[in-house]
Structure 1
Amino acid sequence: MMCGLGKRGCWLWLAAVALVFVAVVWAADKIWPLPLHEVDPARVVVAHDGTPLWRFADADGIWRYPVTIDEVSPRYLEALINYEDRWFWKHPGVNPFSVLRAAWQDLSSGRVVSGGSTLTMQVARLLDPHPRTFGGKFRQLWRALQLEWHLSKRDILTLYLNRAPFGGTLQGVGAASWAYLGKSPAQLSYSDAALLAVLPQAPSRLRPDRWPDRAQAARNKVLERMATQGVWPAKQVQESREEPVWLAPRQMPQLAPLFSRMMLGKSRSDKIVTTLDAGLQRQLEELAQNWKGRLPARSSLAMIVVDHTDMSVRGWVGSVDMNDDSRFGHVDMVNAIRSPGSVLKPFIYGLALDDGLIHPASLLQDVPRRTGDYRPGNFDSGFHGPVSMSEALVRSLNLPAVQVLEAYGPKRFAASLRNVGLPLYLPAGAAPNLSLILGGAGARLEDMAAAYSVFARHGKAAKLRLQPTDPLLERPLMSAGAAWIIRRVMADEAQPLPDNALSRVVPLAWKTGTSYGYRDAWAIGVNARYVIGIWTGRPDGTPVVGQFGFASAVPLLNQVNNLLLSRGTNQPEDPRPESVSRGVVCWPGGQSLAPGDSNCRRRLATWLLDGSQPPTLLLPEQEGVNGIRFPVWLDDQGKRVAADCPQAREQTLIVWPLPLEPWLPESERRGARLPPVSTTCPPLGQDASQPLQLTGVRDGAIVKRLPGSAQASLPVQTSGGTGERWWFLNGERLSDRGRRLTLSLATKGDYQLLVMDDAGQVATVRFSLQ
């Protein structure tokens, strides 16, 4: 034996050497592992169709668009492998024939003609850059063998697809395809595939946006190779050669910056796939830019569009301009906590419908109230007296909403909304109260848009889906019938039409909101397919005089709605649920009565939920003797008598709530409705208090200032009534509580003066100052 140790000794020696070699290789692999994982990787946020929205570069400023082999056109893979490394699927990472051929060509020509690197070796150099020296080449070979040892061929090819340089800060075929060609790498033509296959050989010298002639020559070289090798048909290659290479400057993803920043914190993936529609997002951002000049100084806006059929977020604009520091453009107002104003009102009416407290034609009272220290008023100033639930919702009246919330319970209302994903943010230590319904708590636009899906999803509110993998989660808030009724009211379809005349595709149903001090203007809309949320205001919370929902947010809401309708998407139908029927009720009792019944003072057609006709909802102080249903006993002459009087017969009289009398004609007031009292056998316990009256100015009067006087002095006084007086001028409470009041008015216009006593009686007068 040549080893001099005998046959057995030689084998042992060789085994020891092999073992040492394996141990050295194993140790080297552990000491110098493959650098596969980056500390700060490049990441990209994409729309649901793969369109990149925004890129986040790595520490070196590189951005990528991660792809898998299946997400790349087969044409590109054919061009890449057949041009760069025909034996890729068979060699162990290093092709010895290619290395020897390249060495011979380089030595015989005296210059570098061919590199001989396989795709695996190129990946090794991309993962671990090295100098072009012998030691560097050895390190590259070592890394290539490591790659083949630890990864499959598909994994290695995927690394190349995502790490190959394409010029400037672009890496990977995905980023190059979107930046240079504006298309997905899955949609590459033959010409595109050949161009992108050759660019990594000299990315700076062949950039098609800078050197189109060089890029075209290199592309044609690849096309010729594909024809020579028979990979692509000659006719197809010839047609591709005729296509010129001329590209616009690189297209960098510039959509949904604030949304993308938010998604960066929600996912650890290098490519974050979202539900956004890139085309719609671009249109919304252009719309925001067009609105920028119309907004007051330092004001911004926010928009969200949700497909309520599957709750995927299709559009998200967090500010009017992210780069405008004067408007706090870096603040995402879609998820900022703001006062929602009146946009919560549809929820309380829907919940009250289910609770049997009201129906759409229920008589509500838009009159001044005293609830402790809380004195709610209306946005448009003044009070309107008797209104239906439908009218109160459409006109966004405050007092009726407070009345219904008081009956339902503020804590219960807040808990119901929180249970379906709409938390209301109150000051520390504060409990839900009646101010909730008028914007007395904070809310987020994104949560509000999700909650409004209840009116399109048959009473169930669903959570927003930001990524296609997010599950559809929903919880019931109200019945399908209640949700359908409220949606129709908001769509101006409160009148109960026959089914053949009722639109099955519901038009835009919407609600506005304005916070106290004109700080926030909201508009939330639900069309046949989408929920649209709009907010405008100043992110720093300072007031904007004259900004309110109908004037500031509704025009933008309508533009977004028209934009969505023009896209021609399928419009789901929303037929009437079986639980909703048509009915006729009477005021002031709120229930149906037989024709000719004297207690039916006004008939109203309405939708009914489960056929329920709850009686008129009274205020807490109107129960008992102050109610509207009076059992009376009448004698033969129709006069009121005591119950034990001879021949007394009982009759129920339904009258209007006492605070509504100033808005009623004389014939409908209690003094006219109640029969006269018998002098021979009067009823016991008669209330001796006189009705409240306001004197000093007649209704409809025109008041003029004295010559040379800047103000008009108007003394008024009351008579009748009981207890203290509560004065209101255009809905605003005055500090005086006496029976007399002197108004000093300087501003021309229309005024409403209203006074209320401790019994809830109200007297009102309207006049004008000239």
Structure 2
Amino acid sequence: MGTLLAGLLIAAGLDLACPLPPAPRYSPIVLAADGSVLHAYLNPTQKWRMKTELAEITPALQQAIINKEDRYFRYHFGVNPLAIMQAAGRNVFGRGRTTGASTITMQVARLLEPKERTVGNKLLEMLRATQLEAHYSKAEILQLYLNLVPYGGNIEGVKSAALLYFQQPPDYLSLAQTVTLAIIPNQPRVLVLGKNNDRILAERNRWLRQFQRQHLFPDQDIADAINEPLDAQRHAAPALAPHLARRLVTRFPGQPIVHSTLRRGPQAKAGDLTRNYVRRLRELGISQAAVLVVNNRTRAVEAYVGSADFQNAASQGQVDGVRAVRSPGSTLKPFLYALALDRGIVTPKLKLPDVPTNFGGFRPENFDKSCAGEVTVERALTYSLNIPAVRVLAEVGVGNFTDKLRAAGFRSVAKAAPRLGLSTILGGCGTTLEELTGLYVALADGGRYAPLSLIKNASSSQTARPLKNGVFNSLCSPAAAFLITDILAQRTRPDLPFGYQSSRHLPKIAWKTGTSYGRRDAWSIGYNQDYTIGVWVGNFSGQGSPALTGADIASPLLFDLFNTLAYNSPNNWTTPPATLDFRLVCTETGLVPGEHCPNQLIDYYVPGISTARRCEHQKEALVSADNTMAYCRACVPAAGFKRQLFLNPLPEVLAFRETQGLPATRLPPHNPACRLVRGRDDGAGPALAITSPLDHAEYVLNRGEKQQMLLSCAAGSEVRQVFWYVNDQFLRAASATERVFFRPPSGAVKISCADDHGRNVDIQLQVAQM
């Protein structure tokens, strides 16, 4: 007991007098999901010293090292007294080879604190070895030794040598390769792999035969190892996924090994496809692309391509395109329609106005500058129409939409949310490929969102945004996610790249493209049951290209990636949830059929959620026999009238049809003898709206040019005539579709419009004359 206590006191005193040396400074390495090295960096002292983990120290490596360097390693306490006595005798009497009797533990002490080889320093090594034995297990000491042994130049450690000379980790080496690495540390300047292979081969075989005499390994294994040629040369360090490697090493400074979720196969294929694809785009003035591949079930990122070529400085290849904030173009539209589906605002067959519209001063245009009048929701999405999307966003609410994006981890949107408006849905916000891909993963998984994972088996402290209680955030319902997926999986659409219309190589995916303003960014994001892949193509400088569109430039790369990584994916991989049902709707509006809806079709809807508004696309009116006069119930005569159906579109749709020369029948003028013809509002038809000028806008006019202002309105089909007032002074009467021009006064101006059914509307504006 006293001896043990004395030993503990001596050890404690030694620790106080000579604290343990700091841990070795390792080369940061990033591993793939299977444990292979994706990327390695020099350590702070510019050496390749990759940490060898205990699991990588194979029994063959242990036996070779211990039997060659220190056969009694497992039995002594850092110093081998018998070996010291033998070495002293040889050195004093000059018999045999001069040695220093260093144990593996003593060599670790010397490698941790290199000193000149003197008798005094040898004694210090012995003390330090004893101290190391008190603090570390034999396995840990052997691990330290294998991490510090020199292999010539700036290569240290078995793992560095194995990867740089054999391109394999230590636990994948053959017996011949293992013994090769065991013999080099004694003469690292003489036995240089790639330069002195013949000499190394002879020395290796000499030791193999000695191990055979010691019965260390089976005879057949020894024979095979002796016959194995030595084909070793210096290779470059692993450098896959450089953008992610830099990101993770920066995120975990000082950590020698970072376990990523990337898979070596998909990463290499995605990198090669991206690099070769961008090479073909250079003549179009397009120099970069970024790709992200995500496993939908685990949220693990399996491929991360930040740029086409990390080493290409001319095209800013070191910029990480996965995290670069860019304009998303139309890629947010599917998520908007999913929210509108959940709020009961739309169903797939519902028709939305697609006409020139002024949304409080914001006048969006479709990509092709044309309008269709009315389109179904599914067509608005597959054709990526801007005007219907802005209309839906106005109904959903910008705040509600951006709140959901914040819940999906959109950082730039979260910062800019108070300033965002209706242009958000057309790319008027900033986002990253990582954020967008994560959003589409949620659509692929029934609307459930969870942060993407870059770290294998990451703890909550390592995860960027851990979910509360381990549950998913529900961004939209499974029903909405299914309906959006069903629409995005359609093959008849304008954003199908040229040449793919009848291609058998078209992948079985749902996808959406996007093009930012000025053709600076091209996006294509797709998903199936297993994977979600996001693609961005453009220039990191922000320079646009006339050829840069999501359909023609980004989608071909997306299709190539899916055909390479998930070619055998199932075709029918989505099934409607139980919350969905079918119903008949009017083909003209997509609403529940009304009294005058002879043509009907089937549409999905969510019972209790989807709008149950009945269709009124045709309105019955009482008109005179010669169709020159309309009657209300108060003035209908006893005879000489008939019931007739008239189209009843929204005022802006009616105005658009009239300007395009399309059929747009209006009701005849109301009976002038009716005493309710003025001041009445019988609820017939939609409300009156002034479309020009804008309410609460400020206008600056050139006084010298005598500029005029346009007056126009949108009125129902029953309106024939409107009456314009300026500052409560009558200006003139005009037909409902007539464009009226006038010279406004300066200052505050009130514009009023009244129709022939007694409805009126006012707006206020400011006019300055310069």
> If the TM-score is normalised by the length of the shorter chain, which range does it land in?
0.7 to 0.9
* Residue 463 (1) aligns with residue 451 (2): yes
Indicate the SS of the match to 2:184: helix
Counterparts of 1:529 and 1:334 in 2: how far apart (Å)? 20
* Contact map agreement 2:409 2:435 (CA 8 A) in 1: yes
1:37-48 equivalences under 5 Å are: 37-38=23-24, 41-48=26-33
Q: CA deviation at 1:151?
A: 1.4
Counterparts of 2:540 and 2:612 in 1: how far apart (Å)? 45
Q: 1:418 to 1:411 in 2, by over 3 A?
A: same
1:647-666 equivalences under 5 Å are: 655-661=648-654, 662=656
Give the counterpart of 2:246 among 246, 261, 264: 261
Q: State which drifts further: 379-388 or 535-544.
A: 535-544
Could you tell me which residue of structure 2 aligns to residue 533 of structure 1? Answer: 534
Counterparts of 2:145 and 2:75 in 1: how far apart (Å)? 17
Indicate the SS of the match to 2:314: helix
Could you tell me which residue of structure 2 aligns to residue 59 of structure 1? Answer: 44
* Residue 671 (1) aligns with residue 672 (2): no
Q: State which drifts further: 431-440 or 415-424.
A: 415-424
Q: 1:718 to 1:428 in 2, by over 3 A?
A: closer
Determine what percentage of the aligned residue pairs are the same residue: 32
Q: Deviations over 1:2-53 (max 9, x none)?
A: xxxxxxxxxxxx99xx98x987764443232221335x54211111112212
* Residue 585 (1) aligns with residue 585 (2): yes
* Contact map agreement 1:76 1:188 (CA 8 A) in 2: no
* Contact map agreement 1:414 1:423 (CA 8 A) in 2: no
Q: 1:666 to 1:394 in 2, by over 3 A?
A: closer
Q: State which drifts further: 297-306 or 401-410.
A: 297-306
Give the RMSD, CA atoms, in angstroms: 3.9
Q: Deviations over 1:646-695 (max 9, x none)?
A: 779999977333333455999994517x5896788798459999x99xxx
* Residue 288 (1) aligns with residue 285 (2): no
Q: Which amino acid aligns with 2:650?
A: P
Give the counterpart of 1:614 among 591, 597, 611: 611
Could you tell me which residue of structure 1 aligns to residue 331 of structure 2? Answer: 343
1:213-612 equivalences under 5 Å are: 213-268=198-253, 269-293=255-279, 294-295=281-282, 296-297=284-285, 299-425=287-413, 430-470=418-458, 473=467, 474-492=472-490, 507-566=508-567, 573-593=573-593, 598-600=596-598, 602-610=599-607
Counterparts of 1:27 and 1:617 in 2: how far apart (Å)? 90
Q: CA deviation at 1:494?
A: 9.6
Q: Which amino acid aligns with 1:492?
A: Q
Q: CA deviation at 1:511?
A: 1.0
Could you tell me which residue of structure 1 aligns to residue 172 of structure 2? Answer: 187
Q: State which drifts further: 303-312 or 606-615.
A: 606-615
Could you tell me which residue of structure 1 aligns to residue 700 of structure 2? Answer: none
- State the number of aligned residues: 668
* Contact map agreement 1:343 1:522 (CA 8 A) in 2: yes
Counterparts of 2:601 and 2:94 in 1: how far apart (Å)? 100
Q: Deviations over 1:54-101 (max 9, x none)?
A: 222123211233233223322222222222222211110111222233
Could you tell me which residue of structure 2 aligns to residue 734 of structure 1? Answer: none
Q: Deviations over 1:603-625 (max 9, x none)?
A: 3433333476526799xxxxxxx
Indicate the SS of the match to 2:665: helix
Could you tell me which residue of structure 2 aligns to residue 641 of structure 1? Answer: 631
Q: 1:407 to 1:758 in 2, by over 3 A?
A: farther
* Contact map agreement 1:67 1:158 (CA 8 A) in 2: yes
* Contact map agreement 1:599 1:653 (CA 8 A) in 2: no
* Contact map agreement 2:413 2:429 (CA 8 A) in 1: yes
Could you tell me which residue of structure 1 aligns to residue 717 of structure 2? Answer: none
Counterparts of 1:76 and 1:666 in 2: how far apart (Å)? 83
Indicate the SS of the match to 1:142: helix
Q: Deviations over 1:567-603 (max 9, x none)?
A: x689994322112333432143422438xx5334x53
Counterparts of 2:198 and 2:431 in 1: how far apart (Å)? 57
Q: Which amino acid aligns with 2:665?
A: G
Counterparts of 1:218 and 1:468 in 2: how far apart (Å)? 41
Q: Deviations over 1:539-564 (max 9, x none)?
A: 23233333221122112111211121
Indicate the SS of the match to 1:524: strand
* Residue 96 (1) aligns with residue 94 (2): no
Q: 1:570 to 1:513 in 2, by over 3 A?
A: closer
Q: CA deviation at 1:521?
A: 1.5
Indicate the SS of the match to 2:318: coil
Counterparts of 2:338 and 2:332 in 1: how far apart (Å)? 10
Give the counterpart of 1:86 among 68, 71, 75: 71
Could you tell me which residue of structure 2 aligns to residue 731 of structure 1? Answer: none
Q: 1:663 to 1:224 in 2, by over 3 A?
A: farther
In structure 1, stretches of 5+ residues that fail to align are 1-13, 496-504, 619-626, 693-716, 725-736, 741-756, 760-770
Counterparts of 2:489 and 2:561 in 1: how far apart (Å)? 16
Counterparts of 1:423 and 1:630 in 2: how far apart (Å)? 49
Q: 1:84 to 1:370 in 2, by over 3 A?
A: same
Indicate the SS of the match to 1:365: strand
* Contact map agreement 1:306 1:315 (CA 8 A) in 2: yes
Could you tell me which residue of structure 2 aligns to residue 699 of structure 1? Answer: none
Indicate the SS of the match to 2:366: coil
Q: CA deviation at 1:519?
A: 1.8
Q: CA deviation at 1:424?
A: 4.2
Indicate the SS of the match to 1:325: coil
Q: Deviations over 1:249-304 (max 9, x none)?
A: 32411111121111012224210110011222222222232134323557322111
Q: Which amino acid aligns with 1:220?
A: N
In structure 2, stretches of 5+ residues that fail to align are 460-465, 494-505, 690-710, 714-719, 725-737, 742-752, 756-770
Could you tell me which residue of structure 2 aligns to residue 743 of structure 1? Answer: none
